[in-house]
Amino acid sequence: MILLNFVISLNCVVIPNFKLNNGLEIPALGYGTWVGLDKKAEFIAEDVPQLIDAMSYAIDVGYRHLDTAHLYRVEPEVGYVVKQKIKEGVVKREDIFITTKVWNHNHRPEDVERSVKASLRRLGLDYLDLVLMHWPISVSQDGVDEKIDYLDTWRGFESVLKQGLVKSIGVSNFNVEQLTRLLANCNVVPAVNQVEINLNLGQKELVDFCQKNGILVVAYTPFGKMVPSRLEEDCPAVRHDDPVMLALGKKYGKTVQQIALRYLYQRGIASIPKTLTKSRVVENASIFDFQLDENDVATLQKFDNNYRTVRPIFFQNMSNYPFDKVDVALPEIPLSLRKWKNGANLDID
């Protein structure tokens, strides 16, 4: 009876899939595992136990898409949670879609293979569902621009795919020009381009290009600044208490964050929101039971002002930096983005 009550108490969600250009499917909404850096640009290791708990809950309630990266330090924890859920009989390995990413200091083709094998070891897996080139730039652990052509890096991705280490390969933070060049010189078309997409950064040209060429867009930072913890008074981004958003939420009986995620889904974009709060885990995935009408979609489009939440300006003088540059004094690349160890205790190579 205790077990039965536990099952009934779970607010289970049903998340549809998008089909990739290789015929495989990816859940339209995933669980993001980046816990972030603090104001000193140091990894927030103290949040990892809460991440484990929330990620485990996410799988219990129906999430089947986990997004991580070498940079995120938590591949061991992702692997632990997946192993536990398989052991408990909640899922089978083939039920879970796991994405990881190759960081900037592993852009030589042979280093791509080394990075993927290291991720598999940390995750405790035999294969990955998707591996992404995290950025088109190549930067050494000493912060030096290695100027490695991302076309050469892509050869390494095609190799790990051919070896069966991964089922799908893709890119992240690529712009239209870079994708155009990649498509003209690749043997395997990227399955995914993971980029920042939200109400303030709609990236219509990029999304249209990707969709025309069969590349699924996956949105990171899908809320932009539209959560209370990211509120900046003089920021041009839409706020969580914006009257238009509140009115739409009231109309559909949803939160403003659910309206934002539903808008992306109706554009044919997958999303990977992150949260450590269990109620938000369910809330984020409860967006597939309503439809925004055409007028409301048009209203939401007006929020697009090209404001970028994630702008790593310390990379902007590196070769193949994908964003427009800003005229400011450039800080050094944080050590935490160059050298690190994995796991909550930061002791795993």
**Structural domains of the chain in order of their starting residue, each with its CATH number:** 14-305 (3.20.20.100)
On the question of pLDDT at 231 being above 80, the answer is: no
> Encoding tokens for residue 254?
């949803």
Distance CA 105, CA 279 (A): 37
Tens-place pLDDT, residues 270-322: 999 999 999 999 999 999 999 999 999 999 999 999 999 999 999 999 999 99
Mean confidence (pLDDT) of the chain: 95
pLDDT for 296 = 98
pTM: 0.95
- SS3 at position 342: strand
Q: In the predicted model, is pLDDT for residue 242 greater than 60?
A: yes
Q: Which residue has the higher pLDDT, 292 or 11?
A: 292
Q: 3 pLDDT band (50/70/90 cuts)?
A: very low
pLDDT in the model for residue 227 = 79
Is residue 9 scored above 80 in pLDDT?
no
- H or E stretch including 75? helix 75-87
Q: What is the pLDDT of residue 7?
A: 38
Other beta carbons within 10 Å of 283: 19
Coil, helix or strand for 172? Answer: strand
pLDDT of 10: 62
pLDDT for the residue numbered 1:
31
Residues 175, 302: Cα–Cα separation, whole Å: 22
H-helix segments, 101-214: 109-123, 150-162, 176-185, 204-212
State the pLDDT at residue 142. 97
Strand 130-133: give its sheet, edge to edge: 31-32, 65-67, 97-102, 130-133, 169-172, 192-196, 216-220, 270-271
Query: What's residue 218's pLDDT?
Result: 98
Q: Is 70 annotated as a binding residue?
A: no
What proportions of the chain, in percent to the nearest 5, are helix, strand and coil? Answer: 40, 15, 50
- Specify the range with the lowest mean pLDDT, choosing from 134-148, 231-245, 307-321: 231-245
Q: Which two tokens stand for residue 232?
A: 């900046």
Q: What letter would DSSP give residue 165? A: S
Cα–Cα distance measured from residue 148 to residue 349, given in angstroms and rounded to the nearest whole number: 24
Q: What pLDDT does 2 receive?
A: 35
Radius of gyration of the chain, Cα coordinates, nearest whole angstrom:
20
Angle between helices 243-252 and 294-301 (to 10 degrees): 160
Q: Is 80 a catalytic residue?
A: no
Closest-CA residue to 73 (of 34, 40, 112, 39): 34
Q: What number is the average pLDDT over the span 111-128?
A: 98
Catalytic residue among 57, 63, 72, 252: 72
Q: pLDDT per residue over 326-344, tens digit each?
A: 999 999 999 999 999 999 9
Mean pLDDT calculated for residue range 24-33: 98
Cβ–Cβ under 8 Å, residues 65 and 30:
yes
251 pLDDT above the threshold of 80:
yes
Both tokens assigned to 292: 């925004």
Q: How far apart are CA 145 and CA 148, in angstroms?
A: 8
Write the pLDDT tens digit of every residue in 91-108: 999 999 999 999 999 999
Of the pLDDT bands very low, low, confident and very high (cuts 50, 70, 90), residue 237 is confident
pLDDT tens-digit readout, 46-96: 999 999 999 999 999 999 999 999 999 999 999 999 999 999 999 999 999
**Residue 37 has what pLDDT?**
94
